[in-house]
Amino acid sequence: MTDVSTPSLDLSQSTPEITRQICDIESVSGNEGALADAIEAAVSGLPHLEVIRIGHNVVARTRLGRAERVVIAGHIDTVPLNDNLPTRWEEIDGVDYLWGRGTVDMKSGVAVQLKLAVELTDPRVDITWMWYENEEVSSELNGLGILAAARPDLFEADFAILGEPSNSQIEGGCNGTIRIEVRTFGTRAHSARSWVGANAIHAAGPVLDVLSRYEAAQVEVDSLIYREGLNAVGISGGIAGNVIPDECMVHINYRFAPDKTADQAIAHLEQLFGAWDITVVDRAEGARPGLDAPLARAFAEAVGGTPKPKYGWTDVARFSALGVPAVNYGPGDPVKAHADDERVSVQQILDCEVGLRSWLQADGEARAVGAADGAGAEAGAGADADAGTVR
Amino acid sequence: MTDVSTPSLDLSQSTPEITRQICDIESVSGNEGALADAIEAAVSGLPHLEVIRIGHNVVARTRLGRAERVVIAGHIDTVPLNDNLPTRWEEIDGVDYLWGRGTVDMKSGVAVQLKLAVELTDPRVDITWMWYENEEVSSELNGLGILAAARPDLFEADFAILGEPSNSQIEGGCNGTIRIEVRTFGTRAHSARSWVGANAIHAAGPVLDVLSRYEAAQVEVDSLIYREGLNAVGISGGIAGNVIPDECMVHINYRFAPDKTADQAIAHLEQLFGAWDITVVDRAEGARPGLDAPLARAFAEAVGGTPKPKYGWTDVARFSALGVPAVNYGPGDPVKAHADDERVSVQQILDCEVGLRSWLQADGEARAVGAADGAGAEAGAGADADAGTVR
């Protein structure tokens, strides 16, 4: 007998509590069904939202006839567990955290989005909320890609915000990423008569020397400084303990600033490693920060702080490729994404909620939601003074 | 129902034919039972031989009260098959070969030994014939080691001949071999923020540079020149395509001349790779050629040709460690050992038989066996002129 009950979400709770609820519905990539069902149920039946479901992707949008439209998106899958569910509350050095898989990447961001989707019935811009599957796995499974292919009209927008972890600060654009395999070759022989062969592993030394000597650039794009990186992420070679190997492979990852296209980045790698056999095994364009778009500027002003560059590749690049300026804005320290001790600061969840809410709510609604805002601030203060209030 | 029949050997056939018979009894390491049974049966019941069986090891020895005793040994296992059984006769560029697994390493040598064990009823020295299991696998399974532990008295001898492939020329002693793992370390990080980590694969570049720059020595030992070799035989590192690796391992094989002990060879490696973490994973002493022993000199004179050094490690080192001078002498080109196209020259089998027989037979027997010798020579000539005579 299979369990046919659908876990339900209570979006009247605080955003840290909602984070906990959706983290405890395990949704490792490929297993997002139950959480997508719960999300769909929680946002359906509201007069201000049209809900569309494709696969395990849920879209909810307002159709208020506003002059501008913003897409706000978050993926609902996580990387595999490592004994880090269910979640638990933790206090470290006086800071309150929610610990567990998905708390940073990126269910706290999704929790804030869900809360606001339900509560902001009269926002200043039209909003298209998107919660999608399979971000953590190979690109062709990505839910945002599936939505874009099925319903390109849903991506017609003036600005996009992706809730990827960014310490509740705006991180603009993202670096691109290329992976190549560089191969060296030799001649197999018994190692007792090594002079008969040619050692492919020894021949890989100069490849590693290129990597060691390489000085990664820091590139300014639209006033943000993108830091690049060129690294071996794998190496393999060898047949047996008594055989001179005839092949060695160095797997290299190049993270390149969004001033370059992927083609230009590959050309750069071909210059560096032109002496060897190169295979491109992965490529993803970067995204320029898009902070010069009017809506982006307004958002940055409302949220405050100094926008930073995003180093990791995120789905903002998909929006960027569609001509929609996009930024990352979500709770959680990206360094803790995928970590076994993944945990999000409770305060950052509340900060993100306040930031998004204050910008999205219309003037009229600002007053109406003042109480909720106050509640959020109170919960935040409570989290500092007495973590029990958010538990 | 299991097959309980024991394949039987007909040792009245020519040595190339006997090679074919025993190659076609598959005996990959661990599966030597049927061949050991057949060998035991073929040499049992002869008045001049005492037969001892321990595991899948068969010892047959004369007890004629001669002043000197020689051990003549050969392993009966092979490396795994690769579609290279059953054997077949081949002619390439006018040379006749027996093709298939074990033809070189080393059932042709065993075939010659079996033929002579039965026919040399009155040799000039006492002979201890040893046919043993598990030479091609890990050292603790080695049949010669098992025999030495169970019956050290069987190893009391003045000289030993191992039938390992050496183109039917004497190859003295052997290089020793050491394998070490050299590890470099770093700090794991997401490759989008590589500057937070430290790349262990990049750190392995200088290890490979040491290997590339190393000039292997050629060392004279007892008038033979041993050529050394220092090589990476494996390299591995890397966690995922987006992670800076915190560990890289270079697997290194050092083949050292028998002027050094294994301890001295390890000290040399510690000098070369002292900057890194080193683990010794395998060590085997070399063996000095032992060609200055009186019996060895006499054997070399009888066989003719110029003795050469043995580069690969062989069980001669076991005899050497027991104080018994030992050489390699067997048909087949060692370069073809373990090769998928393993094949032995028919002429080399016959040459090896003539060489061993002429040295081992007493003067009186030389005449008596003249006819058999002539038959061997005829078969040899026949193999050149008409391969049919040995098929």
ipTM of the complex: 0.78
* Pairing label, strands B189-190, B224-227: unpaired
pLDDT confidence tier of residue B38, bands split at 50, 70 and 90: very high
C-alpha distance from B250 to closest chain A C-alpha (Å): 9
Based on the number of CB atoms within 10 Å of its own CB, is B73 exposed (0-12), middle (13-18) or buried (19 or more)?
Answer: buried
Residue A292, pLDDT score: 86
Average pLDDT over residues A20-34: 97
- DSSP assignment, residue B337? T
pLDDT confidence tier of residue A355, bands split at 50, 70 and 90: very high
Q: Which domains does chain B have, with CATH numbers?
A: 15-173+287-387 (3.40.630.10), 181-284 (3.30.70.360)
Nearest-CA residue of chain B relative to A174?
B192
Give the closest of B190, B212, B237 to A312, CB-based: B190
Check if the beta carbon of residue B120 is closer than 8 Å to that of residue B360: yes
Average pLDDT over residues A78-105: 95
Rounded Cα gap, residues B362 and B368, in angstroms: 10
- Position A2 pLDDT exceeds 70: no
Average pLDDT over residues A215-228: 94
Tokens encoding A368: 């109406």
**B211–A190 CB contact, under 8 Å:** no
Q: Beta-strand (E) ranges in chain B? A: 50-54, 57-61, 69-75, 88-92, 95-99, 126-132, 159-162, 171-172, 176-185, 189-190, 218-221, 224-227, 229-237, 243-244, 247-256, 277-284, 308-309, 326-328, 343-345
Nearest-CA residue of chain A relative to B228?
A192
| Beta carbons within 8 Å of B14's beta carbon, 6+ residues apart | B350, B375, B376, B379, B390
Residue A363, pLDDT score: 62
Instruction: Mutation target for A interface from B196, B202, B310, B341: give the one with most A CBs within 10 A.
Output: B202
- Averaged pLDDT score across all residues of chain B: 90
Average pLDDT over residues B13-19: 98
Tokens encoding B44: 């049992």
Check if the beta carbon of residue A105 is closer than 8 Å to that of residue A348: no
Instruction: Mutation target for A interface from B253, B254, B283, B316: give the one with most A CBs within 10 A.
Output: B253
- Beta-carbon contacts below 8 Å between A and B: 170
Instruction: Provide the β-strand partners of residue B345.
Output: B97
Residue A98, CA distances (Å) to A11, A156, B213, B311 in order? 18, 35, 54, 63
The DSSP line for A47-75 is: TT-EEEEETTEEEEE-----S-EEEEEEE
In 3D space, the residue among A63, A66, A71, A160 whose CA is nearest the CA of residue A362 turns out to be: A66
Q: Which of B17, B32, B40, B77 is catalytic?
A: B77
pLDDT confidence tier of residue B196, bands split at 50, 70 and 90: confident
Kindly give the residue spans of alpha helices, DSSP state H, lying in chain A: 15-23, 33-43, 108-119, 143-150, 205-213, 262-272, 294-303, 316-321, 346-360, 363-368, 370-385
Instruction: Mutation target for B interface from A166, A174, A193, A338: give the one with most B CBs within 10 A.
Output: A193
| pLDDT tens digit sequence for B152-180 | 999 999 999 999 999 999 999 999 999 99
pTM of the model: 0.78
Q: What is the distance, to the nearest Å, from the Cα of residue B313 to the centroid of all Cα atoms in its chain? A: 7
Rounded Cα gap, residues B179 and B269, in angstroms: 10
pLDDT confidence tier of residue B382, bands split at 50, 70 and 90: very low
Residue A143: phi, psi to the nearest 5?
Answer: -60, -35
Q: Which of A17, A32, A40, A77 is catalytic?
A: A77
Residue B77: phi, psi to the nearest 5?
Answer: -90, 165
- Position A186 pLDDT exceeds 50: yes
Kindly give the residue spans of alpha helices, DSSP state H, lying in B217-311: 262-272, 294-303
- Position A47 pLDDT exceeds 90: yes
pLDDT confidence tier of residue A240, bands split at 50, 70 and 90: confident
- Position B278 pLDDT exceeds 50: yes
Helix axes A205-213, B205-213, angle to 10 degrees: 140
Percent of chain A with pLDDT over 90: 79
Rounded Cα gap, residues B143 and B133, in angstroms: 5
Check if the beta carbon of residue B269 is closer than 8 Å to that of residue B279: no
Integer Rg of chain B from CA: 24
Give the closest of B192, B238, B282 to A313, CB-based: B192
Out of A77-81, B164-168, B369-373, least confident range:
B369-373
- Position B334 pLDDT exceeds 60: yes
**B204–A208 CB contact, under 8 Å:** yes
Residue B4, pLDDT score: 52
Give the closest of B195, B248, B337 to A235, CB-based: B248
Nearest-CA residue of chain B relative to A192?
B312
**B255–A229 CB contact, under 8 Å:** no
- Position B383 pLDDT exceeds 50: no
Residue A4, pLDDT score: 53
Rounded Cα gap, residues B153 and A360, in angstroms: 94
B386 included as an active-site residue? no
Rounded Cα gap, residues A224 and B176, in angstroms: 60
- Position B1 pLDDT exceeds 80: no
Rounded Cα gap, residues B276 and B274, in angstroms: 5
Residue B263, pLDDT score: 98
**A202–B211 CB contact, under 8 Å:** yes
pLDDT confidence tier of residue B363, bands split at 50, 70 and 90: low
Q: Which of B32, B40, B96, B135 is catalytic?
A: B135
Rounded Cα gap, residues A307 and A329, in angstroms: 10
- Averaged pLDDT score across all residues of chain A: 90
Give B-chain residues touching A216 at CB under 8 angstroms. 194-195
| Beta carbons within 8 Å of B95's beta carbon, 6+ residues apart | B345, B347
Rounded Cα gap, residues B230 and B269, in angstroms: 9
